[in-house]
Amino acid sequence: MQQDRYLQPHQARQRPATTYEDLLGDAIERAFADGVQDLATLVERLNDSGLSAPSGRAWTEDNYREEMGKLAQAN
């Protein structure tokens, strides 16, 4: 009988997470834990957290999507 195999997220990493990635992940996790379910509210929560977008500007839905795409390629 063949066992199902599951990939743990950390197994797929090409490198350790940066401090910025850890802080961003923590902010996103807190928002989800508080029941945030839509992008507009998530972006609002990121802005309220004090963690700015990589450009140093406020988060927008567009730059959030762009950043998630970049991070997906980097890992």
* pTM of the full structure: 0.79
- Spatial distance between the Cα atoms of 41 and 39, rounded to a whole number of angstroms: 5
Q: Report how many helices (DSSP H) and strands (DSSP E) the chain contains, helices first.
A: 3, 0
Residue 47 parent element (H or E)? helix 39-49
Tens place of pLDDT per residue across the chain (75 aa): 556 666 666 666 678 889 999 999 999 999 999 999 999 999 999 999 999 999 999 999 999 999 999 988 875
